[in-house]
Chain A
């Protein structure tokens, strides 16, 4: 009855992994754009019914956040974060039932100009405890004291049809945080530039500037 899918619960897991046609996939979407607070927000209505949101920093043109909308058959919909910090959860523990303790390790992913970075917070163990290795379907983090284990998939590499390369991988540990860095291969850089170019062509929707609006209407 139950079949195991070997995809780990990394942010943004059920992705349309289609290597080189990623750009074609994105450009086939119905896109809308919004510029707000120094962030360019792009919303994709993808032809296969999926919804995705990207946020680009206007200054650096780096992707800050990418989220996918997942509809749960029974309980409505939520957003799965692929890049950027996890959305804050305000649910009461009684309504959730079970959740990780606040001291449990937490993974977040961020993208810089040259690297893809993962931060695992709340990992208090010494640096020599960790081992980070590249394997076929991603990066595996292990601890020799058997306290933490994680398989991380790298969808960016899948989209350009690359395998994880151990020589591009490095990690450091400070302030209870394990930082894993993966240097972007040229193919990924190239793809990102193309996507950015496409995104820039979308003319942003005008939103009324409420703060500096001419004071025609004075609410009493």
Chain B
């Protein structure tokens, strides 16, 4: 059973493999079965059974899409898997439901106000599923030609030659489209589709006629037939755009391409009102469907009292998404006031939330997580080294133990071993200090550091959870 699951995980990884490994890249879902019962180890998730079960119930609610404006708070100590659960939910929701992830401190931007940032985040989390007939261009790339001006500055000029089995046409490209093509690494021999309305490029694969171009191709390379007939086709497509995207398209003269550059700035309230009315109209006509998504605010205690009261109001809107927040704070000061409150969140907002608690991991679970991370980071570890590492995780923190995986992996590779042994762990344990030992060290040698006399004020320091 376990081996089948492992094999499945391996298979998924082949497709979604990206070059870099993030802190939560091992998470592929919530690890629940059909009756929403959590499996102990599944889809990269370990333990936290009640929290995962609760997340599963929330997920059902989101999928039904009827309930708007619910708030969920994930509360727990640092390193107990709050972000992991949110990521798991995002994965389980799939591509079609908008999931916006932001950190609480992201709203403090110089370019836009706090409430504007929050409004944009909320509108990014509401999808509009639009059914429309669009013109798409589908063909095999014959040539991509991009000319940069000799001076290096100024607009680039681009040409794209596409063909089908029957015809061949040259297209002119605008600056943003050139960037898209560069980003997608489109090259001769690729079969691509371009949605004329949104400018979205998607690669379907490589043409069969080009199968012998290279001796070696990656496992992901998919070979497809060169398309037939006309290059431009009309297709009825259903695409999900977020309300924010519709806002941007309608607020700027240069249209949808602002989405790619990201320079959206503040959007006027009138534009939003118009869009809301328009969307409501489409909904009545049956042209569009609202897909309420999820807004995940990590480190929610970093929001201040203004944001909380804004959220309070925003959650009452019928177009509001489900808001999931995560915090690792206990009873603390609400930012922007001198009042203390549980989780640093005002009581009136807390009252509207469903609170899901995450508990510290047990030793067995720590071992499972470390094992998954070893696999994710491509490190092999001997059993006793893993036991030692688990002990370290229990005594210091899970994050510290995870940091030691790759570092000890590098140490073991230096001594030409493929497997991490206990000695490697010991070596990196002595090389890198954990939080406690670092504090110990500071206390011992306090006098020799600079500005040691103001150390008493240090208790107000913020330690953020990643």
Contacts and interface: CB of A to CB of B under 8 A. Distances in A.
Interface string B142-178: 0000000000000100011001111111111111110
Interface string A92-126: 11111111111111000000000000000000000
B288 interface: yes
Interface string A1-45: 111110111000110000000000000000000000000000000
Interface stretch (B192-200, B354-362, B456-464): B192-200
Interface residues of B, number: 47
B172 A5 contact: no
B235 interface: yes
Nearest to A92: B174
A66 interface: no
A77 interface: no
Contacts of B168: 146-148
A149 to B, nearest CB: 4
B235 A100 contact: no
Interface in B330-375: none
A58 to B, nearest CB: 35
Contacts of B255: 75, 95
B46 to A, nearest CB: 34
Interface stretch (B58-66, B205-213, B225-233, B290-298): B225-233
A77 to B, nearest CB: 13
A151 B235 contact: no
B234 A7 contact: yes
Contacts of A104: 169-171
Given A9-B233, A9-B234, A151-B229, A75 B249 contact: yes
A103 B170 contact: yes
A153 to B, nearest CB: 12
A2 B239 CA distance: 9
A214 B175 CA distance: 53
Contacts of B233: 4, 8-9
A98 B256 CA distance: 13
A143 interface: yes
Task: Please list the 8 inter-chain residue pairs (A to B) with the smallest Cβ-Cβ separation, ordered nearest first.
Answer: A149-B166, A149-B167, A94-B174, A101-B170, A97-B199, A97-B177, A93-B174, A97-B174
Given A2-B236, A148-B167, A148-B168, 7 more contacts: A8-B230, A74-B132, A75-B249, A75-B256, A146-B165, A147-B167, A148-B166
Interface of B: 130, 132-133, 135, 137, 155, 159-160, 163-177, 194, 196-197, 199, 229-230, 232-238, 241, 246, 249, 253-257, 282, 287-288
